[in-house]
Amino acid sequence: MKVIIDAAKCQGHGRCYSLAPDLFDSDELGNGFVIGSGELSESNADRARLAQANCPEHAISIEE
């Protein structure tokens, strides 16, 4: 599994990096980005799904 943020959709609300700071961070404009390759393990997949569900722009996707 892999988590992805669509930079064109992200508006910088910060929910992703507030909910899963080990998976997401923010750039100098406050927009979220995925840390590292975005590969998910079973231990962090739930946090990625939580961030996905809470993104108001639906900018986060998870590829199975």
Specify the pLDDT at position 61. Answer: 98
Q: List the pLDDT tens digit at each of the 64 positions of the chain.
A: 999 999 999 999 999 999 999 999 999 999 999 999 999 999 999 999 999 999 999 999 999 8
**Extended beta strands in the chain, E state:** 2-5, 24-26, 32-34, 60-63
Q: Are 11 and 56 in contact (CB under 8 A)?
A: yes
**Contact at 8 Å (CB) between 26 and 12?**
yes
pLDDT of residue 39: 97
SS3 for 54? helix
Q: Show me where the domains of the chain are located.
A: 2-63
Domain 2-63 matching CATH 3.30.70.20: the answer reads: yes
